[in-house]
Structure 1
Amino acid sequence: MKVETIDYYFWMNSDWAYLGADRLEALAERQNIRVLYKPVDLPNIYYRTGGQLLSDRSPERRAYRVLELKRWCRKLKISINAQPAFMCPNADLASCIVIAADRQGLPVGPLYKSILHAQWCQDRDISSERTLLDILNERGLDGGRLISLARQSDIADVYRYYTDEAVSAGVFGSPSYVFQGELFWGQDRLEMLEEAVEAAMGRSE
């Protein structure tokens, strides 16, 4: 029997991906659906789709982001620092570590959430190999081996492929979820995503 899947495209610097992470996994468990974790190079996607990095946005847009984060944190009872000490550093190595772990059959959900938590809740620099090694070791993983695997060219190829695939699927921001070709952008669309899954599986009333 075929197991349905959700293509989950996310940036390893995405505060919104962090806010939606637990709810996505709960959705997948409720609906018996598999999540395919696909870290992407969001600055590259922005360049190709007309998006703007946070540093390039107007003061009004930056201020509203903080306001929305505070609202969602209150709603979800999750605490994050909207302006951490190391905000949105280079996420390429972190992304490749997640891909390498996935290809090794390791649980990806707890790992990528730990990296996001390090940035948004602990003021740690996730562009630092030392920081990433510490995070991996804290999770009981072989950090040195995973970082070595993450630096291999085939993992970089997968990272680029996921980024290209995301653009082809219409993705322009993080987090984005694609189910049966339909795109849902943002953790605030998880309820609609679940409704689509239920309808496709004949579970809606």
Structure 2
Amino acid sequence: MAHIDYYFTTISPFTYLAGDRLEKIAAARGAEITYKPLDIMQLFERTGGLPPAKRHPSRIEYRMQELPRWAEHLKMPLNPKPAHFPVNMAPSSYAVIAAQNAGGGNIGALVQGFLQAVWAEERDISDDAVIRDILQAHGFDPDLCDKGLLTGAETYGRNLEEAVAAGVFGAPFYIVRETDLRFWGQDRLDFLDRHLEAL
């Protein structure tokens, strides 16, 4: 069975645009996914990137064209200038880590729930009430919001270190553990699927 290490951040629009395609691919190919939320701003700093607001104007302008273009192509609602962006991604990331450890719900849908809250619902995913609501909506105990904070912080930091060591530099980023093949971006999911089919 193939294993996918999925590095992402709960505030990335391109991670949002991936939707549930990763989960569908993994189900079809019999692969397992380990969800590894991380601090994308620190990842940029560690790997030579820049946060969106500090990029050259031409890159910023292109991003503002590319996001609506992909959203239309994928038929997904998206506000390219959401009310709560950027926002502290740590609390929602800790919730994902706690939920993955606890089990019992739909972890892929939970991740997408946080992303959708930012990019389509104008919700603040650093707010405890919002985090609790999204946890509960996807089959998890809302009290996970307050549990395992130390473990969440440790795992969150470790995910960043593992990402840097593994060659990750953006999000979403997918690595097939058995082959060390890396796929950056939601627009590379077809290539990931093809690779898994060939294993």
Distance in 2 between residues matched to 1:21 and 1:121, nearest whole Å: 12
1:132 maps to which residue?
Answer: 131
TM-score, normalised via structure 2 length: 0.93
Contact 1:11 1:40 in 2 (8 A): yes
In 2: Cα distance, 1:168 partner to 1:159 partner? 15
Superposed counterparts of 1:47-126, under 5 Å: 47-106=45-104, 107-126=106-125
Looking at structure 2, the residues matched to 114 and 150 of structure 1 have their Cα atoms a distance apart, in angstroms, of 20
What is the letter of the counterpart of residue 104 of structure 1?
A
Cα offset for 1:195? 1.4
State the TM-score, normalizing by the size of structure 1.
0.91
Which sits farther off after the overlay, 90-99 or 134-143? 134-143
Q: Which amino acid aligns with 2:185?
A: G
Instruction: State how far apart, in whole Å, the 2-side matches of 1:183 and 1:90 are.
Output: 27
The alignment partner of 2:131 has SS state of helix
Identity %: 40
Distance of aligned partners of 1:139 and 1:108 in 2 relative to their CA distance in 1, 3 Å threshold: closer
* C-alpha distance in structure 2 between counterparts of 1:141 and 1:35, whole Å: 18
Partner SS for 1:178:
strand
Question: Partners of 1:163 and 1:59 in 2: how far apart?
Answer: 28
Deviation string, structure 1 residues 11-54 (Cα, Å, up to 9, x no partner) = 11011111113111111111111111110111111111111111
The total of aligned residue pairs comes to 196
| Distance in structure 2 (CA, Å) of the matches to 1:102 and 1:135 | 14
Look up the SS of the partner of 1:85 in the other structure: coil
Give matches, 1:1-205, under 5 Å.
3-106=1-104, 107-143=106-142, 145-151=143-149, 153-179=150-176, 180-199=179-198, 201=199
Distance 2:68 2:87 in 1: 22
Q: CA deviation at 1:150?
A: 4.2
Q: Does the Cα contact within 8 Å between 2:99 and 2:140 map onto a contact in 1?
A: no
- Residue 173 of structure 2 aligns with an amino acid whose one-letter code is S
Q: Counterparts of 2:51 and 2:170 in 1: how far apart (Å)?
A: 10
Query: Cα distance 1:142–1:105, how it changes in 2: closer, same or farther (>3 A)?
Result: closer
**Structure 1 spans left out of the alignment, 5+ residues:** none
Report the alpha carbon displacement of residue 140 of structure 1 after superposing the two structures with TM: 4.9
